[in-house]
């Protein structure tokens, strides 16, 4: 019951309520487990934990989110390799490896902590196609945004290859072509390839691919949960446009991102930055008021841990 209410809270960008609901849900799970076995280890992976980690990230509580990622990774290392089959291989909620990979990716992308311990956590997710693809996307995204170009080229190829394996597995499992599960890998492929073109100085072609990804994101049905894409496409388009001095176009992309993920801090920060460039005091005050409710902006600036 507690977790289910967080679906509504998340859709409204009510991050304190998202966190409180999932902390309460996990507290009940812990009580039930300890009632059966006092020595039972806390649950480290799973659906409410991935939501709690996302809530912590949106609050700017990076250390708490990192702790959850590390705990889930430890659970995967301790347990026997999972034997998921069919559609279970495609859903991060159905395996601990999938849960870990999703939380690791979300942590890295949303915190920007690419030089920390989470990047190098050694957890075997082999054989779980969703976990492999999500891991490879994170590694490629980090490389193309922050790493050496030669490293980025190799990482993007690995992500494209694992994305193709994911799509093949989805087709084999009977997932329809219009399902977000089939669409997301193709959108994320365009994101990575677009970013790589921008890194290579082919800005027009890169922005065209990023715009294509952003348009495709708008066609995915809205989910009452964390964004379907590991890096929301309209948000990414806005960031790259702003980096290239196109604040007016970036504003439109960030506004679209807010429609798809209301209250998400990263796109609010983008709107706030656009407002400062465009000297739009009304927009700046609106974004600033919403950002002031949580510590994300300060955490990203390195003012809090």
Do 305 and 275 share a structural domain? yes
Asked whether the beta carbons of 258 and 283 are under 8 A apart, the reply is no
Give the model's pLDDT for residue 91.
86
Do 291 and 187 share a structural domain? no
Do 156 and 49 share a structural domain? yes
Do 286 and 226 share a structural domain? no
Tokens of 226: 């964390």
Do 181 and 145 share a structural domain? yes
* Sequence-separated (6 or more) residues with CB below 8 Å from residue 126: 132
Place of tokens 């049905």: 221
Reported as a single tens digit per residue, the pLDDT across 89-117 is 788 888 999 999 999 999 999 999 998 89
* Sequence-separated (6 or more) residues with CB below 8 Å from residue 227: 260, 261, 264
CA distances from 277 to 243, 250, 283 (A): 11, 11, 11
Angle between helices 15-36 and 2-11 (to 10 degrees): 160
Total domain count, the chain: 2
Do 210 and 257 share a structural domain? no
Domain of 200 in residue numbering reads as 2-231
Which ranges of the chain have pLDDT less than 70?
1-2, 33-35, 37-42, 81, 303-305
Give the model's pLDDT for residue 304.
54
Do 220 and 103 share a structural domain? yes
Domain stops at, among 216, 231, 246: 231
Asked whether the beta carbons of 122 and 159 are under 8 A apart, the reply is no
Domain stops at, among 175, 202, 231: 231
N-terminal to C-terminal alpha carbon distance within the chain: 31
Burial class (CB in 10 A: 0-12, 13-18, 19+), 204: exposed
Do 145 and 111 share a structural domain? yes
Do 243 and 220 share a structural domain? no
Give the model's pLDDT for residue 281.
97
Do 244 and 227 share a structural domain? no
Asked whether the beta carbons of 143 and 156 are under 8 A apart, the reply is yes
Give the model's pLDDT for residue 33.
67
CA–CA dist 50, 54 (Å, integer): 6
Do 18 and 141 share a structural domain? yes
CA–CA dist 92, 176 (Å, integer): 18
Do 130 and 15 share a structural domain? yes
Give the model's pLDDT for residue 94.
87
**Concatenated DSSP letters for 46-109?**
SHHHHHHHHHHHHHT-HHHHHHHHHHHHHHHHHSPPP---GGGGT-GGGSHHHHHHHHHHHHHH
The helix/strand/coil state of 15 is helix
Domain stops at, among 231, 266, 287: 231
């Amino acid at each position: 019951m507690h977790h289910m209410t967080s679906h509504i809270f998340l859709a409204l960008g009510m991050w304190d309520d998202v966190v409180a609901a999932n902390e309460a849900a996990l507290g009940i799970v812990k009580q039930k487990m300890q009632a059966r076995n006092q020595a039972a280890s806390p649950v480290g992976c799973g659906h409410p934990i991935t939501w709690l980690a996302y809530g912590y990230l949106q609050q700017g509580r990076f250390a708490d989110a990192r702790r959850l990622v590390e705990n889930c990774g430890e659970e995967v290392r301790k347990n026997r390799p999972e034997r998921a089959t069919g559609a279970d291989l495609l859903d991060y909620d159905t395996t601990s490896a999938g849960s870990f990979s999703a939380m690791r990716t979300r942590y890295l992308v949303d915190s920007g902590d690419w030089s920390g311990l989470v990047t190098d956590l050694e957890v075997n997710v082999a054989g779980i196609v969703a976990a492999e693809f999500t891991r490879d996307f994170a590694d490629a995204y980090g490389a193309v945004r922050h790493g050496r170009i030669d490293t980025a080229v190799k990482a993007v190829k690995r992500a494209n290859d694992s994305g193709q394996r994911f799509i093949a597995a989805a087709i084999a499992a009977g997932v329809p072509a219009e399902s977000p599960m089939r669409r997301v890998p193709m959108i994320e492929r365009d994101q990575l390839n677009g970013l790589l073109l921008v890194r290579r100085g082919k800005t027009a072609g890169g922005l065209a691919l990023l715009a294509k990804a952003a348009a495709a994101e708008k066609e995915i049905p809205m989910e009452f949960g964390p964004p379907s894409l590991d890096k929301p496409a309209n948000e990414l388009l806005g960031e790259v446009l702003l980096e290239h001095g196109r604040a007016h176009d970036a504003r439109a992309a960030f506004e679209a991102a807010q429609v798809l993920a209301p209250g998400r801090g990263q796109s609010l920060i983008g709107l706030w930055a656009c407002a400062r460039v465009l000297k739009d005091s009304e927009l700046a005050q609106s974004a600033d008021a919403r950002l002031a409710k949580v510590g994300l902006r300060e955490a990203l600036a390195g003012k809090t841990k």
